[in-house]
Structure 1
Amino acid sequence: MRVSVLQENLAKGLSIVGRAVQSRPTLPILANVMIKTEEARLQLSATNLELGITCWIGAKVDTAGDVTIPARTLQELIATLPPERVDMDLDSRSLTLHLDCAGKTANIKGMEAGEFPLMPDFDAERALSVPAQAFKEMIDQVVFAAAKEDNRPILTGILARFDDNTLTLAAADGYRLAVRTIELELGVGGRTVEPMIIPARTLQEISRIISDDDEEVLIAFPDARGQVMFSLGSVVLISQLIEGKFPDYEAIIPRRYETTTLLYTKELLAACRSSEVFAKDSANTARIVIEPSEVNTMPGRVLVAGRSQEKGDAEAPVDASIEGQGMEIAFNIRYLIDVLSVIREEQVVLETSGSTAPGVVRPAGRDDFIHVIMPMSTGR
């Protein structure tokens, strides 16, 4: 194999596929990235058997070939090289890859490409199309609500449900729930797509990979494999699905509210961040005091209060338009910050029904995104 690529393209490709490499893989070959020539492109692939990523970059191919090279070693080396042309020449007998860039040379020992796990081909003809930027926003608005611990593996994933022309993503960790929907222009084309649970990490990687120039994400389902594949032009990602039944999230969403509070998103977010300074010493518990105005011509207010037994306390008032009765409820302030940080609308609605009922946060004027937060006990 003899091939030439630009250093910046190789570095970018390695950074993308490198996220599928485990620090301590079960098999030595899984610590490697596969390098394979393909016409006027160079294919880079990495996998941990649960997540696999393939990326193609432009290249000048003099001699075809393939090899697997230790991913971290190659990535660290390429990062030290100047933004010039990188010439790579493989000694097929010793499986040593020689690199030359602006006079700097290196030799890296590799392994046979035939030992690398096979990746299924992406079937673009049977794939579903989702607008890239909308899909990225969807992911960002639900992925943080997935469980981080493996106590309930099903909750470390995100439910993806295709219904006619609608795609729904839902994530929950037992304390909060995020649900986001989007209308698909082409729909599912009359096909039946069963609900699936995609690892949250997989969708996080998709969100990172989507660039401002990407117009669509293609989603395909390899036959009888329990896998899902995503294609973004020069990048293909394949992931195992999580087996099991996702909780009935619709039963968690409150159907009625006693109080509806309209606030400016940035003002509420700033108040939450101020209170978090002290609330984080009390399991992130913060009091939300909703105070309707006694005079119709004056705005009501919401008081966000955080307290630490050792450090002190903070209170931040926010003007609000309030319909319903006043009340006090405690939330994990981190959860409020998480959801407010991904709402782009100028105003946000907080719907509550008392100190022991779940609260709902959603963007004002939209019904395609809803976030439910369970209340906390203040010990009073």
Structure 2
Amino acid sequence: MMQFVAIRDVLKNALLAAERAISANTNLPILKNILIIAEKGGVVVSATDLEIGIIVRVAAKTIQEGKLCVPAGTLSQLIGNLPSDRVEISSSEIDAVIKAEGYEGIVKGANPEEFPIIPSLEDSSNRIEIPVAILQQALSQVLVAASNSESRQELANVLFDYQVDVLKIVSTDSFRLAEKTLSTSQFTSNIQNPLKVLLPVRTVVEMARILSSSSGMAELFVDRSQFLFRLDDYTLVSRISEARFPEYAAIIPKTNATTVEVKKSDLGAALRLAGVVAEKNPIVSLQTNSSKGLEVQAHGQAVGEGRSILPSKIHGPAAVNSFNVKHLADALKAIPSEDIMIGLNGDRAAIIKDSKDETYFYILAPIVKT
């Protein structure tokens, strides 16, 4: 019989974290379960959808070693609502027995031997170590342009382009593209040769989620087919996508026809106003006027129209470009600085970045009226 005692909130958080690896679309009943292994020194909680797996180590007092496989949602809800901060879990054949002060219950389980093995890396020698704060910011800046498209699998991924002296992280949904470059002063690695790894967007989203509540150093490992992310008590294992990431170098503007320097807070406020006016037609127009500044215009057939004039520095000829207002606002969320530079290039892609930081850019395709 398996038996252990744990702190309710610690166990609940581990269950919720691992549960995120479970896909709502799975047709295999066993994959709706979570595997709990009680061993010397603590408890290991695991879940997988065969694409990604999340493993969380939990501090607990193990009375009897063993395994349980139980429905993830049921168990996490029960644990989260227990009245006591101390919970005991034991096994009765394949079922879980839950005990806490004032409560006792049984959760029907499955055979833990049927739970799929979460694959380990064949070769764990390829390693990158990055401070949590740096990796978290990089992923948040790139994920704003990521796609969840099921019809174009090559877009539903994030590219990690390791070039020995830099690490570039890139995503695109075909309308926009974001790239963040990290230098060797920001990470350490023992990988000697350039390496490109394509990870499913969902994998990177879960990495970012784990990073958001942690500190310290994160470790990334990669072999021929698997990727592993490790941070404190969390381990995430993912398959490496076999899709081909689009060649994007040609769409990066080398120069800009017109550049605009503007404050992020000013542009953000103007875009919020434009979003209200545009309503179901989420298009905003940026028009440069060397004497007035940057004009932000929106028009909605049912609502009306509006225009904001923002103080700005404009270099180059007068320009008018239209963009999806949400996509433009997403660029501002990804840039921490208040000083924004926008490069407008007619029918070609615009580039948006921090005026003083060359390590990040966001490319946005204009809406061309036909």
Verify same fold: TM over 0.5. Answer: yes
Q: Which residue of 2 aligns with 1:274?
A: 273
| Cα separation, 2, equivalents of 1:113 and 1:230 | 25
Q: Which residue of 2 aligns with 1:179?
A: 179
Matches within 5 A, 1:34-113: 34-82=35-83, 84-91=85-92, 93=93, 95-113=94-112
| Cα separation, 2, equivalents of 1:126 and 1:142 | 23
**Gapped regions of structure 1 (runs ≥ 5):** 294-299
For residue 376 of structure 1, what is the amino acid of its counterpart?
I
CA positional deviation for 1:132:
1.3
3-state SS of the aligned residue for 1:269? Answer: helix
The more displaced of 330-339 and 242-251 is 242-251
Residue among 315, 327, 348 paired with 1:357: 348
Alpha carbons 2:127, 2:190 under 8 Å: kept: no
For residue 114 of structure 2, what is the amino acid of its counterpart?
E
The more displaced of 320-329 and 41-50 is 320-329
3-state SS of the aligned residue for 1:358? Answer: strand
| Cα separation, 1, equivalents of 2:242 and 2:191 | 25
Alpha carbons 2:132, 2:214 under 8 Å: kept: no
3-state SS of the aligned residue for 2:180? Answer: strand
For residue 256 of structure 2, what is the amino acid of its counterpart?
Y
| Cα separation, 2, equivalents of 1:190 and 1:253 | 28
Q: Which residue of 2 aligns with 1:254?
A: 253
Q: Which residue of 2 aligns with 1:321?
A: 313
CA positional deviation for 1:8:
0.4
For residue 367 of structure 1, what is the amino acid of its counterpart?
E
Q: Which residue of 2 aligns with 1:11?
A: 12
| Cα separation, 1, equivalents of 2:6 and 2:124 | 27
Q: Which residue of 2 aligns with 1:192?
A: 193
Change (3 A) 1:24 1:327: closer
Q: Residue deviations 1:344-367, cap 9 Å, x none?
A: 11111001122x121110012000
Change (3 A) 1:16 1:212: closer
Q: Residue deviations 1:135-157, cap 9 Å, x none?
A: 11111111121222222100010
| Cα separation, 1, equivalents of 2:298 and 2:327 | 14
3-state SS of the aligned residue for 1:153? Answer: coil
Change (3 A) 1:24 1:175: closer
Alpha carbons 1:124, 1:218 under 8 Å: kept: no
| Cα separation, 1, equivalents of 2:143 and 2:202 | 8
Change (3 A) 1:74 1:239: same
3-state SS of the aligned residue for 1:20? Answer: coil
| Cα separation, 2, equivalents of 1:168 and 1:244 | 18
Q: Which residue of 2 aligns with 1:332?
A: 324
3-state SS of the aligned residue for 1:198? Answer: strand
Change (3 A) 1:287 1:83: farther
Q: Which residue of 1 aligns with 2:244?
A: 245
CA positional deviation for 1:126:
4.2
For residue 347 of structure 1, what is the amino acid of its counterpart?
D
For residue 318 of structure 1, what is the amino acid of its counterpart?
L
Q: Which residue of 2 aligns with 1:286?
A: 284
Alpha carbons 1:7, 1:82 under 8 Å: kept: no
Does 2:151 align with 1:160?
no
Alpha carbons 1:166, 1:184 under 8 Å: kept: yes
Q: Residue deviations 1:88-145, cap 9 Å, x none?
A: 1111x3x111111221111001112211111234676542112211111111111121
| Cα separation, 1, equivalents of 2:112 and 2:61 | 20
For residue 81 of structure 1, what is the amino acid of its counterpart?
L
Q: Which residue of 2 aligns with 1:296?
A: none
For residue 82 of structure 1, what is the amino acid of its counterpart?
P
Matches within 5 A, 1:119-130: 119-121=118-120, 126-130=126-130
TM-score (norm 1): 0.92
| Cα separation, 2, equivalents of 1:55 and 1:124 | 19
Q: Which residue of 1 aligns with 2:32?
A: 31
CA positional deviation for 1:207:
0.6
For residue 55 of structure 1, what is the amino acid of its counterpart?
V
Change (3 A) 1:119 1:163: same
3-state SS of the aligned residue for 2:237? Answer: strand
Alpha carbons 1:130, 1:184 under 8 Å: kept: no
| Cα separation, 2, equivalents of 1:190 and 1:202 | 22
CA positional deviation for 1:83:
5.1
Q: Residue deviations 1:14-33, cap 9 Å, x none?
A: 11111111224221110000
Q: Residue deviations 1:8-63, cap 9 Å, x none?
A: 00111011111111224221110000000132211000000011100011000110
3-state SS of the aligned residue for 1:145? Answer: coil
Aligned length: 367
For residue 14 of structure 1, what is the amino acid of its counterpart?
L
Q: Which residue of 2 aligns with 1:306?
A: 298
Q: Which residue of 2 aligns with 1:170?
A: 170
| Cα separation, 1, equivalents of 2:349 and 2:325 | 14
Q: Residue deviations 1:68-104, cap 9 Å, x none?
A: 110011111112113510011111x3x1111112211
| Cα separation, 1, equivalents of 2:142 and 2:196 | 16
